[in-house]
Structure 1
Amino acid sequence: MSWLYVLCGAISVGLLVYLIAALLKPENFS
Structure 2
Amino acid sequence: MHAMTIVGAVLFLLLLAYLFVALLDPERFQ
Q: Normalising by the residue count of structure 2, what TM-score does the alignment of the two structures yield?
A: 0.93
Query: Aligned residue pairs: how many?
Result: 30
Structure 2 residues not aligned, in runs of 5+: none
Once residues 7 and 29 of structure 1 are traced to their aligned partners in structure 2, the CA distance between those partners, rounded to angstroms, is 26
Percent sequence identity over aligned pairs: 37
Calculate the aligned-residue CA RMSD, in Å: 0.4
Structure 1 residues not aligned, in runs of 5+: none
- Runs of at least 4 residues off by over 2 Å: none
